[in-house]
Chain A
């Protein structure tokens, strides 16, 4: 599996902010439980989280939701600044974090315009019984290191291995393959806001969708384009009945 470029399409017009993806991610990736103190210290870690932005005033008030997760940028600002190569770009377009390597300078987090890198300020802890749930495929991070969305790399690898063991490649058509491959958030998303697949695969529906929406001035756009990070995630604009056109120029 070398020539993939895993990417996501997020259709903001479908997102209802239901938080299913958030919890799914927590349980798949052994993200520490965000207890009340963590929230109050502003140290809650949610690899994917829904941000809510207000617009207008009552009664024409609007609240808009956007799921924000690691954009796995092609020119990730977090990568060059890590002194110890704890974060790097792998062959399938993923921005990977090597927990063992990380020494916790938090430089990457500062240089991430999307603020999707989370730091283990404390030693994550679970009650004995809850530890039974922890996912054996994913490291339990210790304190003092950076962590972030991996596009559920463990699932990608597993799916790849299974496919190989059956002597075939992962196919977009094969629903079960996709279920095994998709990140936890994508699998859970009730409205299909989140869509995930290899953007280098010309046959892939999702790759086509992303391409079309981006090219022929469709709804596609990248987050914070003027930072030149070239994210792997394509957002589709929210559709609003009473939106003015001039906003598109932004």
Chain B
């Protein structure tokens, strides 16, 4: 680790220059942006159309038609909604490189709108508890509501989305103030409304930091809890014998990995097309690259821990689960996932030159994102395709493993549409809130200095309490 980052702040001199520069960049909207926005919105509309067709033709009664739908929901949940963690975690450990990435990450909280929307039909797809599925709610006729998983699921998804939005808003208060002060037209009005009279008093600063801390922690907890609920009630109960205590954690950690990947790709786009190349540099790639490596390692360790127990246990139900999710109808999908989510990141990112390049980590991140999508498809489609009348408790023979379910036109439309929607809403968001965090950039220019140390020049980082 002997390379020295030339950080934007040093080139842009004082913090005020930084502010002005960023505010201007923020207000300028290019053609490429407009075109892509249009395309995305078309795709999104197509997706909605696909959904309408699906629900009119098949209804919500039979699960296997909704596997892909659930999968893409989970995909957005694990990638876009995981992204804000990339802003939260480094902030807690005071990693200096986070400053130009945190806003880009936080903005993904907007995708909460999409997930909430997409989640609604799932409530109707999931049958009630009275069919004797496994659940944490220990269903008893009369004593426990039969739709309690649905309530709790909806609640947690909404709560998570809201937490994200609040976090975004709180952390962008100072920037909104800057916009209010340095801008004119509708942006200024908009910012005026949301900046809530920010003056930058030390008390306000203290409150902002404080709120960010709390909301960050809360968002993390909501993330874990939501994944837990989704897995425990919307995924596992469909598969007899899939009693994998670790899997909710795996699912949540995938969200971290997916989040990092999402942010990496976002940064790359910003750097390449958004014109933020001065702000997004090796440091960010290096740090996020390390994170991506770490999360991939976590992925393999968690997955192996789960696999190990099932494989050694060899109970009929465990074998059934393994066959359904790994070795059976979805074998090739599983191999693809394994390569994309573990092999590729591990064997490339472990290599310093790759991490140090601006193109390496984003490229890997693309692989990871595709892998994550496949992974979700593998899990959800498989789980939703298990016949509803399978005995959930007794030993279940392997020959009841259902065949692979392939996507039809509707599924493809929906999948693309939902993803397009998420990206679209993000792009629109960048028009309202600067995608580079102005106040943190100012902070950086304050806390980072370069000194001569004996014979080399070193970078000195201030760590305020």
Contact = CB atoms under 8 A, between A and B. Distances in A.
Real binding pair:
yes
Interface of A: 75, 77, 80, 225-228, 249-250
A226 B315 CA distance: 6
Interface string B298-339: 000000000000001011111100000000000000000000
Contact of B315 (A80, A227, A250): A227
Given A225-B316, A226-B317, 12 more contacts: A75-B314, A77-B314, A80-B312, A226-B395, A227-B315, A228-B314, A228-B315, A228-B316, A228-B318, A228-B319, A249-B394, A250-B394
B314 A225 contact: no
Contacts of A250: 394
A220 to B, nearest CB: 15
Contacts, number: 19
Contacts of B316: 225-226, 228
Q: Is the interface of A mostly helix, strand, loop or mixed?
A: helix
B395 A225 contact: yes
Interface in B385-426: 394-395
Nearest to B396: A226
Q: Which 4 A-B pairs have the closest CB atoms?
A: A226-B395, A228-B316, A228-B315, A228-B314
A73 B168 CA distance: 60
11 contacts: A225-B316, A225-B395, A226-B315, A226-B316, A226-B317, A226-B395, A228-B316, A228-B318, A228-B319, A228-B395, A249-B394
Contacts of B317: 226
Q: How large is the interface on B (under 10, 10 to 19, 20 to 34, 35 or more residues)?
A: under 10
B392 to A, nearest CB: 12
Nearest to B316: A228
Q: Is the interface of B mostly helix, strand, loop or mixed?
A: helix
Contacts of B312: 80
A249 B394 CA distance: 9
Contacts of A225: 316, 395
A84 to B, nearest CB: 18
A206 B315 CA distance: 28
A214 to B, nearest CB: 14
A75 B312 CA distance: 11
Contacts of B394: 226, 249-250
B293 to A, nearest CB: 34
B326 to A, nearest CB: 17
Which of A77, A226, A250 lies at the interface centre, i.e. has the most chain B CB atoms within 10 A of its CB? A226
A75 B316 CA distance: 11
A5 B266 CA distance: 63
Contacts of A75: 314
A228 B319 CA distance: 9
A79 to B, nearest CB: 11
Contacts of B318: 228
Nearest to A249: B394
A225 B315 CA distance: 9
Contacts of A226: 315-317, 394-395
A59 B40 CA distance: 76
Nearest to B319: A228
Contacts of B314: 75, 77, 228
A77 B314 CA distance: 9
B394 to A, nearest CB: 7
Contacts of A228: 314-316, 318-319, 395
A225 B395 CA distance: 7
A41 to B, nearest CB: 31
A225 B314 CA distance: 12
Contacts of A227: 315
Nearest to A229: B314
Contacts of B395: 225-226, 228
A19 B394 CA distance: 33
A120 B312 CA distance: 28
Contacts of B319: 228
A223 to B, nearest CB: 13
Interface in B352-370: none
A9 B394 CA distance: 23
A212 B407 CA distance: 44
B130 to A, nearest CB: 19
Which of B315, B319, B394 lies at the interface centre, i.e. has the most chain A CB atoms within 10 A of its CB? B315
